[in-house]
Amino acid sequence: MAYLLGVGEQFPSFEKKAVVSLEAGKEFATVSNDFDNEEGRWTVIFWWPKDFSAVCPSELVAFNQTLADFKSRNASVLGFSTDTELVHLAWRTYNPALKDLRFPLVEDTNKALASELGILHEAGIAYRVTYIIDPKNVIRWLSVGDLAIGRGTEEILRMLDALQSGGLCPVNWKKGEDMIKM
């Protein structure tokens, strides 16, 4: 793995094609990172290694099931892999669990963004990485996992809550609990 962009660094600019729908003629859109915004929106970007794999669809389903929780925290969710938008579309079309996804599946076919982030595996696929990016486009949290192990959306939501709280949060802190007072 090359140099991994980390906490406190700006998330790189990108403009990529994404699958946003299964409706004929409305399947694709261009997605970019206009994260520096007046609405104070946060962004959660997660990468999976490969479409048509065993673990990855379970993660997409989990993000879809918790999408309302992310939105209630003023956070957008974007899913990425190094597969093409056409592969994403085929995967969504032929996997019944993925038909109702409500967040974009973004391509990084040229692997430029994965390379710039430092998350490209030697096999030419991205590691299983999650970023929480603040409204100023700064990486505030990231997690890198083994290719074979799925991540948990509840922990990502917990970290988003902690970051948005602006306070000092003890171990296993959950929204509504006491924070550390200095």
Contact 34, 41 (CB under 8 A): no
Q: Is the pTM of this model over 0.85?
A: yes
Nearest Cα residue to 14 out of 56, 48, 43: 43
pLDDT for residue 176 is more than 90: no
Instruction: Clarify whether 56 is annotated catalytic.
Output: yes
The DSSP-derived string for 140-154 is: EEEEEE-TT----HH
Catalytic residue among 20, 56, 105, 106: 56
Least confident range of 11-15, 73-77, 171-175: 171-175
How much is the pLDDT for 8? 95
Residue pLDDT, tens place only, 115-169 = 999 999 989 999 999 999 999 999 999 999 988 899 999 999 999 999 999 888 8
C-alpha dihedral, 135 to 46 to 157 to 34, nearest 10°: 20
Contact 97, 61 (CB under 8 A): yes
Residue pLDDT, tens place only, 19-30 = 999 999 999 999
Check residues 37 and 98 and name the one with the higher pLDDT: 98
User: Which structural domains are found in the chain, ordered by start?
Assistant: 15-150 (3.40.30.10)
Distance between CA 75 and CA 102 in Å, rounded?
A: 13
